Amino acid sequence: MEGMSLPARVERLRRIAFFQNLPFAVVADLAVRLRHERYRQGEVVFVEGSLGDSLYFIESGQVKISTGSGSQERVLNYLGPGNFFGEMAVLLKQRRMATVTVVIDADLWVLRKADLESLLEKYPAVALQITEELSRRLTDTIRQPVKEDIYTPVAVFGDEPWVLAEALKRLTGERVALLDMSGSNLIQHSRYLPVELVIDSISPRATAQEVTEKMSLLAGTHDRVLVWLPPEGFEACVKAAQLCEAIVFIDAPAYGWVNQFAFKPTWHITQTLVEIERVARHLAHRVVGLALSSGGARGLAHVGVLKVLKREGIPIDMVAGTSAGALFGGLFAAGRSIETIEDFALNFHKQLSVWNLLDLAVPPRTGLIRGQRFLKYLRELYQDVVFEQLEIPFYAVAADVLTGEEIVLDKGSVADAVRASTSIVGILMPHRLDNRYLVDGGAVNPLPASVLAERGADIIIASRVIPSMEEEKEYRRASRSSGQMDLISLVSNFQSIMEREIIQHRQSCVDVMITPKVAAYRPTDYRPAAELIRLGEEATERVLSAVRAQLSPRISGVGVKL
């Protein structure tokens, strides 16, 4: 900016919202004092705790204001053109209270502390302008104290990107803009689109600077920006893809020039509403995970849970299951219809005999049942499917009986994973898999919600069929019976006691807990399947409003964030 005439500097500053209403004399004085700096995406302007002696005004681009780092990072705000930052350290003579990172290439104007103090004394209008902006930000912070660190802007390749934009808008309730760089003149035909969106356009042959400015302006007025790119790798398209934080291919190939951005989160999907809405949940950090607990025959209630969630259109993006939860969760993840899963559950007890699944170990060494017939049955049930072929991600939890480790199975044969996860110690022999001896995952993580949280689930629904001690005691008192007791019942009850204790420390990440009232049913009796499925349905219907509340749009405040 050195060498530019004063009128030209004033004209450029006038394009920044903060200076538009200030008198010419004030802006002219500022133009002499301000220093221009340019930052690229990912660069840090300053870090939390550092000494501060400058105030920054944003001409173009976008910055992220955050505290902490890594998994402890808290995003406080996103600021775009016309905003300023760094004022607190300068005005209050404190260290920087947050870290500022550039999200979209930014042109900043820097004002030193001494110049700011002189201007505030000379021009009270500047102090008033700063005070009004700080008041607005305080209101925004009260409304939304911590912003979501979301994927935006997003590059989109393929046809009809407005379907994804509309899905995001419907999911989040936020302001979504679509920037057309495809050269198709979409803005001319926007009135014919089946959705209502803010659409802007720029030529794919524009300059990199023009694209940066256009994207930063949209970032300043919208919560999310989708950029529709053509197959050709023009300079402007490469720059736009560089500035985007994620990439989505909708029935489109991965073009060669895009490979340089392979490190960014990328999705390849078909142009079906189910896949488009699923990727929208990923982009908005609204991924829904379902955790299904262990519990033996009581796990039949999970079928009722699945039945109601499916009927009510509740999306499930990933499933984790332990023991019985793995058995039914695997079928759901494999795309089996609810009718098929229910039919299997209703008739499963017929298979539990020495003539069908129960191949007794003679003499018994590590379990009463060898489990080879059961494994063969599972392979037929799952049709030899492997994890990589499942419709949605699925995780089966088992335990290494030699080391006590929690083992999360998500590769290879689903049937082998379920066989391992259901190997109740003392009853079903451990399953050898990848040089490990694996047993029922209930010994380490009976309600695997943490597995989902670690793998990116943002909303976790859990079905727990392990009654509390109070529920068990209340049922026993009411029935006036200690129940039948044999070796299998003894082992099963002991397992339930252990799982009940573990689960107390494993449910903190659950957003909605479904608790079918199954205490009256023995974990070894699969015959009352219809009753248990009904209890699962009733329990799910009781919490449907809470589930829908988790999925409902969260309208953003007026704060500037993508």
State pLDDT tens for residues 65-106. Answer: 999 888 788 888 888 888 889 887 777 778 888 999 999 999
Question: Measured between alpha carbons, how far is residue 405 from residues 273, 330, 443, 444, 493 in Å?
Answer: 40, 22, 10, 8, 22
**Catalytic positions:** 323, 440
- Listed as ranges, residues in the chain with pLDDT below 50 are 1, 141-147, 354, 556-562
* pLDDT given for residue 561 in this prediction: 29
The answer to whether the CB of 448 falls within 8 A of the CB of 395 is yes
Query: Is the fold of 6-143 the same as that of 288-473+490-550?
Result: no
Long-range contacts of 129-138 (CB under 8 A, 24+ apart): 129/18, 129/21, 129/22, 130/84, 130/87, 133/18, 133/83, 133/84, 134/87, 136/558, 137/77, 137/559
Burial grade of 389 (CB within 10 A; 0-12, 13-18, 19 or more):
exposed
In this predicted structure, what is the pLDDT of residue 139? 53
- The 10s digit of each residue's pLDDT in 356-412 is 667 676 677 777 688 888 899 999 999 999 999 999 999 999 999 999 999 999 999
Architecture of domain 153-281: 3-Layer(aba) Sandwich (3.40)
Q: Which CATH class is domain 288-473+490-550?
A: alpha beta
DSSP letters, 115-139, are HHHHHHHH-HHHHHHHHHHHHHHHH
Helix spans in 348-393 (H): 372-381
pLDDT for the residue 393: 97
For the segment(s) 6-143, the CATH number from 2.40.160.40, 2.60.120.10, 2.40.220.10, 1.20.1440.230 is 2.60.120.10
Instruction: Retrieve residue 82's tokens.
Output: 């016309």
Please tell me the number of Cα atoms within 13 Å of 181 on its side-chain side. 33
State the amino acid at position 204 in one-letter form: P
Enumerate the domain spans of the chain.
Answer: 6-143, 153-281, 288-473+490-550
Burial 513-547 (b: 16+ CB within 10 A, else e): bbbbebbbbbbbbbbbbeebbbbbbebbeebeeeb
Q: Is 232 helix (H, G, I), strand (E, B) or coil?
A: coil
Q: What confidence score (pLDDT) does residue 154 get?
A: 96
